[in-house]
Amino acid sequence: MIRPLSLALAALAALPSRTQITRHDCVKGWRCTAKWQGVPLGTALNLAQPKKTGRSAVFHCYNAIERSPAGAVFYHESIDPIDADHAQTILFYAMNGAPLPVANGAPLRLWVERQLGCKMAKYIHRIELEDTLIGLGFGKESYWVDRGLRTVRRQPDTRSGVFLSAKISHGSTGCEALACGGHNLRRARKAAPIVPSSR
């Protein structure tokens, strides 16, 4: 980052925003449709004049997800430069026409349309652009990958080039899930058809 930047939430909300109605189906079985408003991540990052070499956008979150002998372990996540600059990667600060509630990730939550829900960090208080992830958690891409999440892969539809699905697996539990269009999650074992998002 050439110019470190600190923005109050009000200053972030004053930037050009995007509003969308999105349904999120979680692999755990719940679903939610809401009207979200926020700033494309690329718009916010460009204000800091990022260096071309930055490999990952790293999100530091307020939620202490576990305790270790050294103290609280705070949630972190990262995404690659392609997802960080994608028009549908958004920092949401409002939901259903009101400020984002704490229960839904306030002050900021990340929406990464082309990724699984586990990549969509909540309670964000700091974003860094890093060339390396060494020194962050166990040096892998996120809290969950540090703890054994093995695979998160986008699978483009070879006919249209549109991202249709992704597979995620966890070494210790063997759970698997499929994601469709970044918002339609189904358990892989149910053999439900995967169809493109119709948005």
CA gap 184, 194 in Å, rounded: 9
Q: Is residue 178 part of a domain?
A: no
Q: Is residue 164 part of a domain?
A: no
Domain CATH code at residue 30: 3.90.420.10
Query: How many independent structural domains does the chain possess?
Result: 1
In Å, how far are 16, 39, 70, 116, 161 from 167, measured between CA atoms?
33, 28, 33, 9, 17
% of the chain surpassing 70 pLDDT: 72
pTM over cut 0.85:
no
Q: Is residue 68 part of a domain?
A: yes
Domain range spanning residue 104? 9-145
Q: Among 41, 107, 106, which Cα is nearest to 80's? A: 41
Tell me the pLDDT band of 54, cut-offs 50, 70 and 90.
Answer: low
Q: Is residue 49 part of a domain?
A: yes
What digits encode the pLDDT tens for the residues 132-185? 888 888 878 888 888 877 645 444 444 444 443 344 433 333 333 333 333 332
Q: Is residue 135 part of a domain?
A: yes
